[in-house]
Chains A and B, each alone.
Chain A
Amino acid sequence: MIKAIFQKMLGGKSGMAGLLILAAIIFLVLPLGLDLFRLNLVGKYLTYAFVAVSLVLLWGYGGILSLGQGIFFGLGGYCMAMFLKLEASDPVSTKIQTTPGIPDFMDWNQLTALPWFWEPFHSLTFTIIAILLVPTLFAFLIGSAMFKRRVGGVYFAIITQVVALILTILIVGQQGYIGGVNGITDLKTLRGWDIRSDSAKYILYFINGTLLVGVILLSRVILGSKFGLLMLAMRDKEERVRFSGYDVANFKIFMFCLAAMISAIGGAMFTLQVGFMSPSFVGIVPSIEMVIFAAVGGRMSLIGAVYGALLVNYGKTAFSESYPELWLFLMGGLFIAVVMFFPNGLAGIYEKYGKKRVAGKEYTGSGPVMPSRTLPDPKLVPVGDAVSPPTKGMGISKQSVH
């Protein structure tokens, strides 16, 4: 049993090779090759990779496109930021305020007491639990309301987008309670440990990388299990799975909650590494960008998602420094190119051209198989499906994959 799980985690010969290469890049190549500033930047990109991985699970394997993963990234990040902010605003260092001991932005907004929902964030234990559970519960709420009513596909995407919009407006509107448009800034220490020091940045980078690899391993176990197979079956022929006696909604809810939790871990690590959290990581635009990380990396590849996040963000930083107006063209072109020509992203390109040369033979491992190979020829799919209610048609199942 344990051996079987272990095998799924490593994903056979080719899966293991991919993981080892990724680990070597994260833990050896980047720390040795980059200065601290750049490394911290890469650490930031890696926190987005959590979201990208969660989207591979949810979108690539589950066929559920969430355009609101920024919600969960943000919720995780804000939970962490609230704890750090409380620690940074102890009565001594905030004694020039009218009310010492509360975060500075509350003081600017004439609040005289800490709001009730900030109180529990004095405790680190509570904070960690909150990072993991608040987004998950929120996802459970949205997920059960939607999937139980069989809302899916396009409608789900639009509704998650609106929820992201609602949350952003709420955060921006509540200047006094949650920092408004500036977000929660000036975070200094974690239990007395200065998170802005050089050594802390290194340590946080490695914690981040380790968590990310852990998340990938966990995802592999899940995808390799019976549950993973059912997710795929559901993505391609939801009705048949339902008629076979499975409660499709519950599986989807579970997947949505899991993806939310993974995104939230990324958000919390983001706050730690970057030292602030703001609504600009929550709304519609960042959420769609996160989908693009997953799409560029390959929506069916967990490891590809990490590369996608690194590559797109690197490109964004590099181009927006030197050619800010070119960047939007490039980004837009990338969206279109990936969707039209490389629906399986980098991983798909690798599958097609690189794999034979690298591994020497076809993949025969027991890990999660690239399931798209078994999809029916798109020409055989009844054309009438294109106009059937989008609740049922998941676009991805009908694409052609080579």
Chain B
Amino acid sequence: MGEYSASELWSIVVMQGFSGLSLFSVLLLMALGLAIIFGQMGVINMAHGEFMAIGAYTTVMLSKVAVEYGFGNLYFLPAIAVSFAMAFLTGYLVEIGLIRYLYKRPLDTLLATWGLSLIMQQTFRSTFGAKEVSAELPPWMMGSFKPTETVDIPINGVFVMGLTAFVCLGVFLFLFRARWGLQARATTQNRVMAGAVGINTKKVDRVTFALGCGIAGLAGAAFTTIASTGPTTGSLYIVDSFMVVVFGGAASLMGTVVSAFGIAQAQSILQFFITSSMGKVATLLVIVTILMIRPEGLFAAKVRR
């Protein structure tokens, strides 16, 4: 690193750190949905990436419509809501049609949802074409802040971070302050007992799964602001998101936040100094090594085994 001066190095760290924060936001939104589904029901949703793609495609389509009719700078916030709704609805139907039969077979949910993801990918390809599409960003989201000469912070990145923070807060309130969250947590802890005290655990499962999918849809909407969307976009993120969930400790949402932050920052900063693929390899290797030492993840619930 001898060729960089101290101030250049500082700008690099700030900018890579910031791009890491954008990656962190998308990863966290993806992983949050996964963690809710996995932690709550033990379901491995390999189609989670495709739910994200649903959100992304919805946003892209809405942007096309909005630009057509001249609402170019207004559509984005409603699009986020519609993306959530679309993914939520699809998730709800998938739970009814597929997932509810597989609750006691976690490894089989993995295979079945992988099949589902193939079908969804092909559906995207047949409907929207194999080419990547991108949304028209509303004008207020373009451009960047320039706090110093060498540092350049894009507004869309800031927006995505804001959205993530908002969603996290929402999920937190929903799970820990709302009545529904109480029921969901009770079901997680002791399904039989929860059923015995009159909680409709099946309904809770259904809503939880759909909620996880809906958050993936939100991730998709956020994703459109920083990259373009293709049929296989979701599958690019799925392994990373699973690593985030497993690394953080499956049952701990706090762990998910911390590990998404760590993984995104490590990847983003390493990518600058070694090649992008080697940065990823290094990050994953470190995670796998740590997981071998601490299989339950960083923030495991303390259970005597």
Contacts and interface: CB of A to CB of B under 8 A. Distances in A.
A332 B106 contact: no
Contacts of A157: 44, 107, 110
B111 A295 contact: yes
Contacts of B303: 389
B284 A162 contact: yes
Contacts of A173: 275, 277-278, 281
Contacts of B106: 153-154, 390, 393, 395
Contacts of B98: 336, 340
B295 interface: yes
Interface string A234-250: 00000000000000000
Interface in A255-296: 284, 288, 291-292, 295
A386 B295 contact: no
A326 to B, nearest CB: 8
A149 B116 CA distance: 32
Contacts of B111: 288, 291-292, 295, 335, 338-339
Contacts of B285: 166
B108 interface: yes
Interface in B81-136: 98, 101-112, 114-122, 125-126
Interface stretch (A4-12, A20-28, A212-220, A376-384): A376-384
Interface stretch (B52-60, B149-157, B164-172, B184-192): B184-192
A128 interface: no
Contact of A340 (B102, B122, B125, B277): B102
Q: Quick one: which of B101, B103, B115, B189 has the most chain A CB within 10 A?
A: B115
Contact of A386 (B42, B44, B116, B239): B42
Interface string B275-305: 1011011001101100111011000000101
Contacts of B125: 325, 328
A1 interface: no
Nearest to B231: A328
B246 interface: yes
A386 B104 contact: yes
Contacts of A385: 104
B281 A170 contact: yes
B292 A151 contact: yes
B105 A398 contact: yes
Interface string B258-285: 0000000000000000010110110011
Given A150-B305, A329-B122, A384-B190, A335 B115 contact: yes
Given A153-B106, A173-B275, A335-B115, A390 B42 contact: yes
B41 interface: yes
Given A173-B277, A381-B104, A390-B42, A325 B122 contact: yes
A80 to B, nearest CB: 24
Contacts of A386: 41-42, 103-104, 191
Contacts of A149: 292-293, 295
Contact size class for B?
35 or more
Contacts of B104: 378, 381, 385-386, 395, 398-399
Contacts of B243: 158, 162
A45 B289 CA distance: 34
A148 to B, nearest CB: 9
Nearest to B300: A389
B76 interface: no
Contacts of A381: 104
Contacts of A161: 239, 242
B5 to A, nearest CB: 30
A340 B101 contact: yes
A59 to B, nearest CB: 8
Contact of B191 (A165, A334, A340, A383): A383
Interface string A292-314: 10010000000000000000000
A393 B108 CA distance: 12
B82 to A, nearest CB: 26
Q: Quick one: which of A325, A338, A389, A390 has the most chain B CB within 10 A?
A: A389
A246 B111 CA distance: 31
A169 B98 CA distance: 33
A328 B119 contact: yes
Interface string A166-184: 1001101100000000000
Interface of B: 40-42, 44, 98, 101-112, 114-122, 125-126, 188-192, 239, 242-243, 246, 250, 275, 277-278, 280-281, 284-285, 287-288, 291-293, 295-296, 303, 305
Interface of A: 65, 67, 145-146, 149-151, 153-155, 157-159, 161-163, 165-166, 169-170, 172-173, 284, 288, 291-292, 295, 325, 328-329, 331-336, 338-340, 343, 378, 381-387, 389-391, 393-396, 398-399
Given A325-B122, A336-B116, A395-B108, 8 more contacts: A145-B292, A146-B295, A162-B239, A328-B119, A332-B122, A340-B101, A384-B190, A387-B191
Going nearest first, the 6 A-B pairs with the smallest beta carbon separation are A335-B115, A395-B105, A332-B118, A332-B119, A328-B122, A395-B107
10 contacts: A146-B295, A149-B295, A150-B305, A153-B106, A153-B107, A332-B118, A335-B115, A340-B102, A381-B104, A393-B42
